[in-house]
């Protein structure tokens, strides 16, 4: 059974991770697309080093091309769908706090949108 993986959509109907992938070299994009396919196949059992916890529900897909580290921050939402939140190309071991904050903000926005759909305000 394949797990569902979606690209996070912001309030302006942009898909930040899709845009991130479009800006990468073909080799980098291919590595990350293979990793996304693995997430679809293995779901929450995708092991380290392909996936690791960042904080709380926030996780990262991890791969490398040479010395360049490629990451996609994601989480599993209340509908058990993996939301790809934020993409990063980095040359250091540690994620930048600004990248974690951006992913956390997108996760909160997505969760709020799901909550509004589930419990629409009565008029």
pLDDT by residue for the chain (123 residues), tens only, comes to 689 999 999 999 999 999 999 999 999 999 999 999 999 999 999 999 999 999 999 999 999 999 899 999 999 988 889 999 999 999 888 899 999 999 999 999 999 998 888 777 644
* 28: CB partners within 8 A, 6+ apart: 65, 68, 70, 89
Residue whose C-alpha is closest to residue 46's, from 76, 20, 23: 76
Partner residues linked to 113 by β-bridges: none
Phi first, then psi, for residue 39 (nearest 5°) are -60, -40
> Cα–Cα distance between 58 and 103 in angstroms, integer?
8
- In the chain, where the domains are located: 5-118
């Amino acid at each position: 059974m394949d797990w569902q993986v979606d690209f996070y959509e912001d309030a302006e109907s942009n898909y930040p991770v899709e845009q991130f992938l479009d800006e990468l070299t073909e080799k980098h994009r291919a590595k990350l697309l293979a990793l996304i396919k693995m997430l679809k196949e293995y779901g929450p059992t995708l092991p380290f080093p392909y996936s690791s916890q960042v904080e709380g529900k926030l996780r990262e897909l991890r791969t490398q091309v040479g010395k360049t580290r490629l990451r996609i921050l994601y989480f599993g939402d209340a509908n058990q769908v993996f939301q790809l939140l934020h993409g990063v190309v980095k040359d250091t071991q540690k994620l930048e706090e600004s990248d974690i904050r951006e992913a956390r903000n997108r996760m909160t926005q997505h969760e709020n949108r799901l909550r509004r759909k589930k419990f629409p305000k009565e008029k």
